[in-house]
Chain A
């Protein structure tokens, strides 16, 4: 494969990743518990080496997303291993490895936009199965499926599928149908239907924290679809969609369940031991951490529930400092930002990139700004930094989409009859 002219050389990037991880490992060496440190160091550096080899074998062209992913996964493993004392976070590490592999697999699946688009019925089917699993297998309006040895959050896996549904090729957009004189693109109708369904299911299972993420993905997906072929924006459509959006927001605000209303209107400082407990602890931890943190393992936030998931930003701030936490967030942001330096080359991949960017940025916004009391607190995760198997795997798949947009393959699949089944992607 030809190297991308704008990407840094892959070996150089890997050296930087290794250097960053080695530096972090050296910083935490004085924490004591040398046996755990050795485990952690071996695990992180091994992941770097294995990752490097895998990338050499699978695809070197789009190394930006992969190397950033390796860097973030190693950092997050070190973070997670240090909270409250050094102990190798093997679960997080394991899910990180799986996420990395999932990234490569999803890349291989969607790197060819023609083939990925042809698989759309499969995405719709998976979407339906996941929604049904939420309705039928999560118990009483819950979000978790308990398999005994592990719990799975199916709504996390809906995210990459939903991004795949949102992405569309030009050829698909040119296929129009007509019912009762009304012309429409069937795929657009499918997306709108899926959006309504996922919103309804999320509302039903009271997982309202993920709704903004799905809404953002649907919004950017529809934006790219509705306007992509037009010379000018249709103001009527913009006004109509705007009114619909505002009406939906007002309805959601008014009809939100009591616990959501409480979060929307609560003052955490007047209820520091009740509903504001987690956020107060988080904010105090950030303040105590200052610019450079109390030191790895020296924090106290680990004793608070969800400190390594919902409060991950505060936890990193407390032990490593605000500077480090912001840098970690910016690193995660580098992944969707790669689409700015090496823009997607197909309409389909553009849709994927925008969808993934929406998922990553909205989730980070909800988590970080929610835990810091600037917006209502929700239980969503920061991609790759928060602990959580379903979330990690889902984000790994999404990272694969970004990689596919960086290094696409445009071979048109040939049907058995020998006629190419492709067109504008």
Chain B
């Protein structure tokens, strides 16, 4: 018999006595059991294999169709086979227009946000537009390229950005500020900056750094790094003990290896508490703190790692601001008695931190919790069919340092602002720390002036980082720029 319905023990005898079948299938009865039950065992296996193959293929085909439909905007955008829509600021001001040539806008229209927002030219790859080409594509799988212009609505204030940009005048630098309660990025200025409305015809003549949004790239932090060192000390030793610890400064200090740490105050600051040393930005004090037995280097490394530093070359996660990549901070901490390690804790040497990250830490200090609200730039995106496809909200970082340390540093910074920035920032309840970074670029040595801080006022819950490059005495100060920034945002 061709049809085998017998058990294996019977198979041999069945095989010997086989005869050609006249008809091999039962007529289908109303109550006939399914094929996979009535068919002989060997047939059942074939049935199951075919079913399995077809089912797997069908499932994969459904997945493929879903993938193609959902990813198609990415495909056309990546290949430049579509038109693009708009990027708006928080009040509907156009920051990018993909529906028409950008040179139809007045010259300078996008000069303050060019390197942050970017364009579709491919000249800049770490910008909002270049990382959201698919969200900006006026394309849908159903209607192709015939949809309405897509939109990306950002949290930026173009007006505030413009004021800060203009306030910088001829100086190079960067300013970044966000609402530490909501996470909205409000200002992100980088100067010099390409004007995307003018294009790239004079690319060779553009100043160096015009295509980079500087707040996202690490720089030497100078004494603003002392904020991190204080946080590590508070965590390791305790707030009360550290605040009571005094060290002497005579203008310079020799460490355990006989290496000299100089203070900017050549006559020295004498014996100081931490709060005084913080206000004085006294290098010998902090070098002695780092070298002290009470503060093991491993505890500093632990705190810094939690804060997102890449310590001694260990991998650290980069930050992601709605697709824009921000490199993590980095420094080397090998020997607490050594100059290089002490120098790193003072914000010099090979210590590098992006203004974005400096601002983020200020957010965690301002809210007093030790974990910051993550900044975001895109409030929502609207596709060509009018569907809102993304909406950001409040998201926190991991616990970077303890709440006790955050609150203690908040007080130290507040006292610093009260003592030294009363004139500039008298209208606001602020905490700040300044820094001066010694930089050598192509053999040219100069100093950058930095200011990190926060504002605790209910109307302006702002954390910020300001950098003015090659600043010399008598020019625009970071405090003056901070005043412009906070005043502008207060009026917003």
Query: How many residues on chain B are close to A (CB under 8 Å)?
Result: 56
B43 touches A350 (CB 8 A): yes
Chain B interface, DSSP helix/strand/loop, else mixed: helix
Decide if B1 is an interface residue (CB 8 Å cutoff): yes
**What per-residue 1/0 map shows which CB atoms of A365-402 lie under 8 Å from chain B?**
10011001010000000000000000000000000000
* A152 neighbours in B (Cβ, 8 Å): none
Cβ distance B6 to chain A, nearest Cβ, rounded Å? 10
Give Cα A227 to B43, complex, Å. Answer: 12
B residues near A369, Cβ cutoff 8 Å: 60, 64
Q: Is B423 an interface residue (CB 8 A)?
A: no
User: Which chain B residue shows the least CB distance to A268?
Assistant: B78
In contact, A410 and B28 (Cβ under 8 angstroms): no
> In this assembly, does A71 line the interface, its C-beta being within 8 Å of a C-beta of chain B?
no
Of B18, B60, B79, which contacts A272 at CB under 8 A?
A: B79
Known: A170-B15, A357-B50, A423-B15. A113 touches B75 (CB 8 A): no
**B35, B60, B71, B78: which contacts A343 (Cβ < 8 A)?**
B35
CB distance from B348 to the nearest CB of A (A): 37
Residue of A nearest to B58 (CB): A333
B214-267 residues at the A interface, CB under 8 angstroms: none
Name the contact of B28 in the complex, choosing from A5, A223, A269, A364 (C-beta under 8 A).
A5
Q: Which of B45-70 contact A (CB under 8 A)?
A: 45-47, 49-51, 53-54, 56-58, 60-61, 64-65, 67-69
Known: A333-B54, A411-B20. Contact between A340 and B79, CB under 8 A? no
With a cutoff of 8 Å between Cβ atoms, the chain A residues found around residue B8 in the complex are 229-231
Q: Which residues 12-48 of B have a CB within 8 angstroms of A?
A: 12, 14-16, 18-21, 23-25, 27-28, 35, 39, 41-43, 45-47
A5, A322, A345: most-surrounded residue (chain B CB, <10 A): A345
Question: Interface residue count for A (Cβ, 8 Å)?
Answer: 60
Q: Is A286 an interface residue (CB 8 A)?
A: yes
- Contact check, B24 vs A361: say whether CB atoms are below 8 A apart: no
* CA A343 to CA B50, docked complex, whole Å: 10
Residues of A within 8 A of B14 (CB): 424
Which interface residue of B16, B41, B42 has the most chain A CB atoms within 10 A?
A: B42
User: Contact at B72–A333, with CB atoms within 8 Å?
Assistant: no
Which of B137-145, B378-386, B398-406, B466-474 lies at the binding interface? B137-145
Tell me whether B142 and A410 are in contact (CB under 8 A).
no
B11 at the interface (CB under 8 A from A): yes
Residue B81, interface by CB 8 Å = yes
Encode A242-268 as 1/0 by CB contact (under 8 A) with B: 000000000000000000000000000
B141 touches A291 (CB 8 A): yes
Asked if B45 and A227 sit within 8 Å, CB to CB, the answer is yes
Smallest CB separation, B299 vs chain A (Å): 41
Q: Is the CB of B12 within 8 A of A351?
A: no
Judged by a CB distance under 8 angstroms, whether B429 is at the interface is: no
Known interface pairs A5-B27, A284-B81; A223-B49 also in contact (CB < 8 Å): yes
Q: For A368, what are the chain B residues with a Cβ–Cβ distance below 8 Å?
A: 61, 64
| Residues in A neighbouring B23, C-beta threshold 8 A | 2
Query: Hey, what's the 0/1 contact readout for B75-87 against A, CB within 8 Å counting as 1?
Result: 1101101000000
- CB neighbours (8 Å) of A286 from chain B are 68, 72, 75
Mostly helix, strand, loop or mixed at chain A's interface? helix
Contact A291 B142 (CB under 8 A): yes
Q: Are B11 and A345 in contact (CB under 8 A)?
A: no
- C-alpha spacing A422/B56, complex, angstroms: 37
Q: Cβ of A408: which chain B residues have Cβ within 8 Å of it?
A: 2, 24
Interface assignment of A336: CB less than 8 Å from any CB of chain B: yes
Flag whether B335 is at the interface (Cβ < 8 A). no
Q: How far is the CB of A362 from chain B (nearest CB, A)?
A: 8
Inter-chain contact B72/A280, CB cutoff 8 Å: no
B2 touches A345 (CB 8 A): yes
CB distance A358 to B78 under 8 Å? no
Do residues B39 and A170 form an inter-chain contact, with CB atoms below 8 A? no
- Answer whether residue A347 sits at the interface, using C-beta atoms and an 8 A cutoff: yes
Which residues in window 339-360 of A have CB below 8 A to B?
A: 339-340, 343-347, 350-351, 353-354, 357-358
Q: Which residues of B contact A326 (CB under 8 A)?
A: 61, 65
Looking at the complex, which one of A291, A350, A411, A423 makes contact with B16 (CB distance below 8 Å)?
A: A423
Does B4 belong to the interface (CB within 8 Å)?
A: yes
**A145 → B minimal CB distance (Å):** 31
Residues of B within 8 A of A231 (CB): 7-8
B427 CB within 8 Å of chain A: no
A345 CA to B1 CA in the complex, in Å? Answer: 10
Q: Is the CB of B54 within 8 A of A361?
A: yes
A224 interface residue per 8 A CB criterion: yes
With the chains together, A408 CA to B1 CA distance in Å? 13
Q: Which chain A positions have C-beta within 8 A of B24?
A: 345, 408, 410
Q: Judge if B320 is at the interface, Cβ distance under 8 Å.
A: no
Please name all residues of chain B whose beta carbon is closer than 8 Å to the beta carbon of A22 when the two chains form the complex: none
B42 and A170: CB pair below 8 A?
yes
Among B7, B14, B79, max chain A CB count under 10 A is at B79
* B57:A345 contact, CB within 8 angstroms: no
CB-CB under 8 A from A223, the residues of chain B are 45, 49
| B residues in contact with A269, CB < 8 Å | 78
State the Cβ distance, A124 to closest chain B Cβ, in Å. Answer: 23
- Alpha-carbon distance A326/B68, docked complex (angstroms): 12
Kindly identify which residue among A288, A339, A351 contacts B81, using a CB–CB cutoff of 8 Å.
A288
B3 at the A interface (CB under 8 A): yes
Encode contact with A along B342-371: 1 for CB under 8 Å, 0 otherwise.
000000000000000000000000000000
A98 within 8 A of B: no
- Pair A365/B65 contact, Cβ less than 8 Å: no
Chain B residues positioned under 8 Å from A365 (CB to CB)? 57, 60
Tell me how far the C-beta of B170 lies from the nearest C-beta in chain A, rounded to whole angstroms.
39
Taken together as a complex, chains A and B put the C-alpha atoms of A223 and B75 apart, in Å, by: 41
Q: Are A372 and B15 in contact (CB under 8 A)?
A: no
* Interface flags, A202-238, vs B, CB<8A=1, else 0: 0000000000000000001001100111110000000
Complex formed: what's the CA distance from A351 to B7 in Å?
A: 19
Instruction: Establish whether residues B60 and A220, one from each chain, have CB atoms under 8 Å apart when the complex forms.
Output: no
Q: Which residue of B lies closest to A364 (CB)?
A: B57
Q: A228-B41, A364-B57 are in contact. Are A424 and B47 (CB under 8 A)?
A: no
- Interface presence of A13 (CB below 8 A): no
Pairs across A and B, CB under 8 Å, 21 listed: A170-B42, A174-B11, A224-B46, A269-B78, A280-B79, A284-B76, A286-B72, A287-B72, A287-B81, A287-B139, A290-B72, A290-B142, A290-B144, A346-B2, A347-B4, A354-B50, A361-B56, A410-B21, A410-B24, A423-B18, A424-B11
Of all A-B residue pairs in the complex, the 8 with the closest CB atoms, nearest first, are A350-B46, A287-B72, A424-B15, A345-B24, A287-B75, A228-B42, A346-B2, A229-B8
Given A346-B2, A365-B60, output 6 extra A-B contacts at Cβ < 8 Å: A220-B53, A272-B79, A288-B76, A345-B43, A353-B50, A368-B61
